[in-house]
Structure 1
Amino acid sequence: MNFDNLITENLVLNIVKDKLRHDENVISICETYQIIGGEYKNRLLALVAHGDTSAIFAFASSKWPPELFSDLTIECVYPLNEQFMLDTSSSSNITEYQFKIHSSQGQSVYYYYPFKSAHAKSFSSFHEDCKAISASIPKMNDPEHFKWTQKYRREDQSAIDRNIADGTITLQRRESKFREELERREFEYIVHKDFTIYTATWNVNGRPCGDIELKPWLSATENPPDIYAVAFQELDLSPKAITFSENRPDPIWIRRIMSSLNPNAIYEELVSVRLVGMMLTVIVRQELRKNVLRYSTQAVGTGALNFMGNKGGVGVSMQINEASICFVNSHLAAHSSEIERRKEDHDEIIRRMQFEYGISRRSIDEHNHIFWIGDLNYRLVDNPPRSVFDVNFSEIIKHDQLYQEMQRRRVFLNYTEGAINFRPTYKYDPGTDEWDSSEKNRPPAWCDRVLWKGERISQLEYNSVMSLRLSDHKPVYAIFSTGIKTKDEQKYKRVHEDVLRGMDKYENDNQPQITVEKTDIDFDIMQFNESYTRDITVANNCHLPVRFEFRGKEENGKKICEPWLHVEPTHGELITGDSLSIRFKIFIDVHHAWRMHRKQKTSNTKVPLDILVLHVENGRDIFITVLGEYRPSCFGFSVETLARLPQPVYELDLKDLLKIESDLNSSYSSSVYKVLNIPREIYQLVDYLNRNGLRTPNLFTVERKYATNPLINDIRDWLNLWSPTDFPGNPYTAAEALLMLLESPPEPLASPMEEECLYAESFDKCCEIIKVLSGPKKNTFLYICMFLNELLKFTPQNRLESIKLATIFGRVMLDGHGNSSKSIFRSLTEKDRDERRTAFMHKFLCNDIKDFARDVLTAPI
């Protein structure tokens, strides 16, 4: 055996031993995995002996190979009793590396690797060890003989504490008793607050949203809802999306949703989950976001091979206050005759949709309030004449397959559906309110439904929207008033203190500690001017109150994180049993784009972007790593770099872009790169404004109110591609994009002469300073000034004055990010700097610069 592999295997073996008690012997370990909801989950199996009995422990690993005691969590324990069998038989090559464990807990399917792991034994060796142990000891069936395994019940594994493994104390079991007492007395501190929940579903038949207005569907109530759950089916019908199980939420539809919500409240997207054509977006009122303690998503494909995502369901589980809510969006099997297949889809979604919260899972039915929405595809048993579908819905619905299936208690057991008082939602000729006139002549049906289950739920409205004609389906919405369990904090504090007084003191050390859901926060791929959020849960599983805070690092000026990262909350206190959701938000704006280029360096994969220190008072610090991959754009590069681009930014690797940037001052640069007088990106924006914006009122504003307009990102992509298509914005967003592009490089356009600009008293002196700049910089500066002079010719129409334009462009082109370290800058106040920049720019707007510009712009670079 390779010596390094032996060391690695022993390290993993020692970690497994640390999870167990001293009188339990680890015989063998094996690396395996399971496929859960279409995802591959690492598993480590350990054969463990205790006295005359043995068991197989299945560990979930947060990282592979595990490095710490806390990386492993006990998922399940299989006693080697009469019911135990390890079955390696296979019926096809597809399952050649599959095996099943039959036990008193049922059947579990695992997969092993055909090669030997460097961290554990091969499966064949592990299997031989299991057979040898089974043959050498009697298979005892009395539960008393396996009582030692009960100490490792899954629900008792949340606490990460070595004392649990030692057997000195069972911290989580102690905590379980504490929670039991709190739950027993919850009637003393729980109240129910009414929340309005707005559910909506629409099968869009693969049609793009275009400029469709969704307010008739999503703003059908005057009072603003507290929570939205918006579901789509058939977002994408392409074979590629189905084959590769497209799971990226569609940002275009999400933006359309967010702009169509009730205008009487401010909303925030909590999470979106997608599987091929199914997408579910959950949105909460901004002031209620802090009440959402945690959430989880899951997707289940039930299409071809009971796996493909063209049919199935996606779900969101969330805890708000003390209540758990589940939203399920499903698209069940189609066609009138497929009743049994729809039941199979329904059963499979219920069986496989398990929401993960750390080491625990929660099924759909393990929620206080459940809302099941989507295209359920149930049809009518017979085909009544179409004329009856405008009246007497209560009689027709008795012929509905879903109604009959629920009456027979075959599907949606204990779910409720409100009275249907709207026309069937399927099938229409797209663009009309007319029933299907195609050759198939599909009969009308109520395919799109909203069902619910749980306590304290009352339906306020259930309807469809006929005016939306994009699809062959009509959208449906249902509004509910839901009584959410909520703590009365004062009463809870009294009960909590009373319960604490009634519990014996812990026998382990009293060091405060918190459990962090994960220490690697992965932001995946990020782009300029887009907001990204991730949430983690921190919990107090020890018996002491815990105070925590994020602490700054000395090398970062004692700031807790990089300026483009926002953490909320930054500190807090958790009493025993409490948990808290911490949000990490990244937004790369004009001040930070160039920093992200340096941070990413030449890597085309995810890199550590920041490391945060989570300090626990009187406890150990926890280090949280922020990971991500920043996709470069034209924002953040100097005009010299942009002027030398051989291809659009979209087609270049970051290392190629940084190479161009690093070569700027070398003789190699001028001989290799073709240098444009002005970067294409700036030329395209100014050219568009020349043609479309000269008469636009207040085209440029000091407030920069268009910086957050979603069209900015469309313009970004257009510039990155050198796209030949029509400009995707309008004059206002083009103007803002121009300012952002000029402001985003690491140094201002006037660098390295920004200091001299502040002390130039005459126009001639100003011109001399501009002449010193590099070719692309001075050309760009004068090109912008000529455009501004053209703007001033239309002052009566655009209401722009020279001083206002000088102020705006002085800040952008002469100041950049306002972070110069030159001594002259430090000796002036911000007001003085602003006035001097304005005065410099104003000289180019109130003097005739045509001759000067002609001489400079035609000079070779």
Structure 2
Amino acid sequence: MASASTHGSTSSVDALDSRIPGAFPASSVSSHQSLYQAVFARRSEYTRLRRIRVKVGSWNVAALKGTEKDVAGWFVEGKGVEEAMAGLDIQGQQAAGADQRESVGDQEARSTHKATTIPENDAGSLPGGEEVGIYALGLQEVVDVGSATEAFKPYTDPAVAQKFKSAMLDALPPGYQLVAEQQLIGLLLLIFVSPSITPEVKFVSTTSVGTGLMGYMGNKGAVTTRLVVGETTRLVFINSHLAAGADKAALERRNWDVSQIISRTKFEPIVDHMGLTQSNGDGVGDEDFAFWFGDLNYRLEGIPGDDVRRLLTVHTQHLDAVKSEPLQTSATEQMDEEVPANLPAHMDPASLHTTISSLLPHDELHQQQRLRKAFEDGWREGPIEFLPTYKYDVGRVGLFDSSEKNRCPSWCDRILYRSRTARLAYEMKVQEEEVARKKDEEMKARGLEEAGADEDLLFDYDPATDGDDYDEFADSEPEVVVTKESFEDDITLEYYTAHQRVLSSDHKPLSAVFALKYDAVVPELRARVHQEVVRDLDRAENEGRPTVMVVVDQHSGYETTEPSDTDSLDHEGIYFGDVRYATSKRRSITIANTGRVPAVVSFVDRPAEPGRPTGPMPPWLLVRFDRDPDKNPTAPSEHDQYTIEPAEVCNVELKLKVELIELVRELNEGVATLDDVLVLRVENGRDHFLPVRGRWLSSSFGRSIDKLIRIPEGGIRKLQRQKPSATDQAVKWSAPRELFRLTESIEDLVERTLAEWDMTSSEGDKPPWQNNAGWPFAEESWGATTSASRVSLRANVYEALDCDQPFDTAFTADVLPMERLEVLAQTLLVFLWGLQDGIITEELWVQLESSIAAREKAKQQLALDDERMWCLEILSSAPTHNVSFVLLTSMLSRVASEIVNSTSSSARPMSAPRSSVELPASPRVTVRRKTLSQIPEVARRQLINRNYAVIFSGVMIRAPQFGKGKEKEKRTREERMTNFIEMFLRESEEGR
């Protein structure tokens, strides 16, 4: 279970979608980083040096009554220290009140859980009160963790913690606040801070890790708090109670507890002043300074408990008699009289210092650190110069466990600390050792002879013993630490001792006082620096950003059909004026680099809108730059990029052309418009939005027969921007006027072309209708006129159709009848292909095909005239479609007759003309030679009919679509469609 309380902002910045075109699409993360770096470079302007004391206390209260009455005295006021056994130079501090302090005997005699057990008239030996900025108190066994009732309670009784909190608050000076509290069954962590630094404490996060029963219960484990002071320094406090026991299994379990606490501890994320989340959640190891304290339960290994008790009792048995003198002097007097008096403690064989030094090599915690099994990665401890803190008889100052268990005295209670610098140094050391080990193995693998040449480099490596000459856990001078926020702090351990004169538990409390120096951020000063940096960065960024100027060349005037069209003159952006079907319109823009750095430009995807195709360009617009795209762009994109150097210009041509028949239909119906916005992206610069628009001129292409027969004389363009009245919706024609005009002109031009050929061709010239039986409707049968010329002529014909103007206006005088015929023939095919419902609708063809399939199955054959009559009866249900069908097939039949009966065809018999035509709408259909008549004229007519049927069946008939895997059925249908058209092209006598 984890809880968190946070001081300060913890909101996260919503992510921006960089794909949406904006003013400056550069990465927000990089800009935040550069801003942070610039602000950080001026940190001396907004930080002020702060010095505080951090006091850490640990005490196993053994679930005994009255311990809360002692906690304030020893922890806040620094009392209960026995100077002779404290290992501190505090005798000067105690000298003034030493005579008034209560004796050990009197103290033990009045010991009771109803009042404090701390000696009366104790002036205090350690810094306390207002001298300390942060108090971190860790208690263990505030409840009986051995009780199943307590261990499995579904709730935590707040009254237990409340009595310790109240005792602390009563003793602390006014203004101190509790900023963190966490309890896990018997573990309790309380952190108080002084009023001077309370505003600087933020991002407080507390959590718990249980490692007891089944590896997760809370009878053992840790409670942990992370806080940040001054917005620069992360502190972590870990109060833990590890597995008990003196055997090897218990030792291994303690090490396991430590690893679990480290791996499972996670804190809430930290959000910096710019609103950016610094991490997904810190753990142990991400802090700048960590303090690990509690009943770690490490024992003395390899030495009998009676021997330890005997050694230590020498220093405690006359404690009351020597309370005002150094203990080692009294003990020395009991030794051989030849030992000189007043020896330094570390040289006196009978001193407490020497006794402790002889016992510490047996300390399991130090052993596990050296073996790198626990607390090896930078954790250290102040010098131990005090008696073991465990285990004493309750109510006694120096009497070790006198119960039947006679537990061996041990330093179970410890306070460790670690800095970021120490942790990183350990990790570097491990890496160096790994490199050395691999190098040693490589050299040994080369063999002794070869290794002999490098004897000075070859060495033995033993991680268990190497580096023993360096004590990484020893105390040191003030340590400079580079924090995670890259500030320089330092920490010094000032005091580390036990409170021997506290009698209410079988453990002695432990205190450590640290002097911490850190740079604290002053928010007001930082805000001012931040504003200045933002202003400077904006100025520098604008000067270094690529900038371009876009100039639109609208040409001279707009091609509008209505001179009064003021909308075109007021349009901002790229205006194409009037747009006709299949007619190209061009505009150009000039992009000039007006900045100091190269500009990389590209057209990117337009803002997404419902129903609009994605991509940088609408389907009716093409763009062409006057240069090749960059081959190796610095920032690869899915769109072509072009680099423009400073003071250079780039010309871009935009071509608008509407050819897709689906788009023509939508434009005619007003569903779609020629109106869009192009996005010209300048990498690391500002996007430019270019509106593009054109005015669509209605076309007769892409409409249905039912609508075409209602267009009055004058053409569809006559209705431009008009709302037809009810009378205008009446049927005007039996078939579309456009079909009448096209078929009539094609018949006339076929006759003129054949006659002109007979009069002007030279002997040996071969007419196109002899080279291809599909002429003039097969594109491959046309003359050598350039495609560009035909496109222009065809666009003119389209305009003549839409405006109901004579076709002669679409051609210049030098265009020959044959070329005119071929352009009109292609126009007819395009017109038929674009009809919305076709000449024969899908519904009509379903009826026709059903009857054809039934007769095929019954193998029933009808006379040609009867078969035609049967088909026309079905088509008669749609009179306008029927008239249009008869009009087209009659025209094709007459054209075929004209070609077959022409003088050029008779004089020069067709020599194996092509018998098939391939169009996008039709597959290749071949006429077999054996099916052709032996009569040349009849064979020629059969070839022409077949080719015409192939060409026109695909543009006249709308048939249902087949899915994948239906190729056989598809071929069968196409053959039926071709035969159906061909039936109406045959002459009546062919059926006889």
TM-score, normalised to structure 1, is 0.38
Larger RCO (CA under 8 A, 6+ residues apart): 2
Larger Rg: 2
TM-score, normalisation: structure 2 = 0.34
